[in-house]
Structure 1
Amino acid sequence: MSISVKPNPQDPRVIRTRQLIHQAFVELLQTKEFQEITVSDLTRHATINRVTFYTHYTDKYELLDHMISTQLIQLLYKGIDPQQALTSEALTTLICALCQFHEYSGTECPKNIDSLRSLVETNMKLQLQQYMLEQLTIDLPEHDHAQLVTLSTMISWSLYGATLQWSNEKKDTRDTPLQLAERMTPLLRSWIDMKLTSVVPV
């Protein structure tokens, strides 16, 4: 009985194949709804066979999750040290990264973003929640884990909602990502500090 082993993501051949699949996915989304896209569509458009696709992804949902998480993680950790505490500078960088991600989503999938919104939203909130939990655990290593999970969820949903609303505003009248971040960060920092003081250590 053979054991399925995921390919090495650092292998140049793997990187190239995934780029082909990702590009095919993005291009298909310009003309088709997400639910209409099949694995056959993807393999034909990417000029690969089905075995190759399934070597990398279980289905199109895993493909979507991977694309979202990869893009978001690249933006999240650009200029942020994940080993450091949740500073005001990190929050500012994070808010700008989220704005960039919303812009990326709107540009890559302009005709289908509504049909993908729930999937994108779920994945983004999960990535944000995991990042926030990591940072809060660094800040408060002795505090109750369940409370930190709840707090990280509250923060991540707030960040997602505020930046999503920003992305829906008219480009010629809305703030720049940095302006939004500079307005949000002091409020968010104060709110987080207030919540942290109410979190009781184990």
Structure 2
Amino acid sequence: MVLRVKNLSVARGGVAVLEGVSFTLAPSDALVVKGPNGIGKTTLLRTVAGLQPAFKGTVEAPEDSLAYAAHSDGLKSMLSVAENLEFWAHVFGQKDITQAVDAFDLSDLRNRLAGSLSAGQKRRLGLARLLVTARPIWILDEPTVSLDTASVALFAQAVQRHLSSGGSALLATHIDLGLQANILDVGPFKAVAGATAISGYDEAFL
């Protein structure tokens, strides 16, 4: 499944931050979004994921093909690790959580309440949800936050397996994950100072 972004402009707080971004993400490809803090990488990824409207341009992706993971781990603190994964598997019409548990070394934590986990363990569990979505296009915003070196390696291996099986990944990260990936430097797409979004544009509640 192919993700196509055409002449996309995105806004934050009603003000355009990036303009004219275009790229194609094909199966088995990874694209790493680079740029200084605050330039709009998160806004771009949220817009591509459909969590806020585009200022201009288009995002084309097959229906139900995108899975998004950002800074929030999205866990239910009073459910166990296994119950959290089973919940999300059910949401996405899946049943088996074994691959997700194994990929992020969660076997010994299966019965622990999510609320009792360390920040790094919560992050591993949050990322493990990607594997129960069965969605081919992953959109990842700083996915390695709170992960130690060993856990970063687990994540990189999970992404590589996803790519090898025909999936794709669009990610913003400052860490070299050792992937064969193209780079999208969004610096040249920074919006002209003073550019504003269309009248009535508001992403605050999406």
**TM-score higher than 0.5 here?**
no
As a proportion of its length, which structure holds more strand?
2
The alignment's TM-score, normalised by the length of structure 2, stands at 0.29
TM-score (norm 1): 0.29
